[in-house]
Structure 1
């Protein structure tokens, strides 16, 4: 179980670094809103984060 938690943490950190290097601070904010919304089961927060990332991808 600890190995799985460590693997998930590494994947999350790597994906956040990738988003930050490619999309800057707005990408980090979108990723943060999306992850907080998923963990808190808040649909509004996760939708706002997803829309922010989708807009960054389409530019």
Structure 2
């Protein structure tokens, strides 16, 4: 079980670094809002985070 938790943590950190590298600080803010919203089961917060990520993806494409 600890190995699975370690792998998940490493993947999460790698994903955060990828988001920051590609989309800058606003990408990290959006990802954090989405993550906190999901963990807190707050639809508004996760919706704002997801919306920001979608806007960033649309802008770069």
TM-score, with normalisation over the residues of structure 1?
0.97
Question: Runs of at least 4 residues of structure 1 off by over 3 A?
Answer: none
1:8 alignment counterpart: 8
Q: Which whole-Å deviations, capped at 9, do the CAs of 1:3-39 have from their partners, x for residues lacking one? A: 1110110010000000000000100000000000111
Q: Unaligned 5+ residue runs, structure 1?
A: none
Counterpart residue number, 1:49: 49
Paired with 1:8 and 1:41, the residues of 2 have a C-alpha distance of 20
RMSD: 0.4
Within 1, Cα distance between the matches of 2:7 and 2:41?
23
> Aligned residue pairs: how many?
59
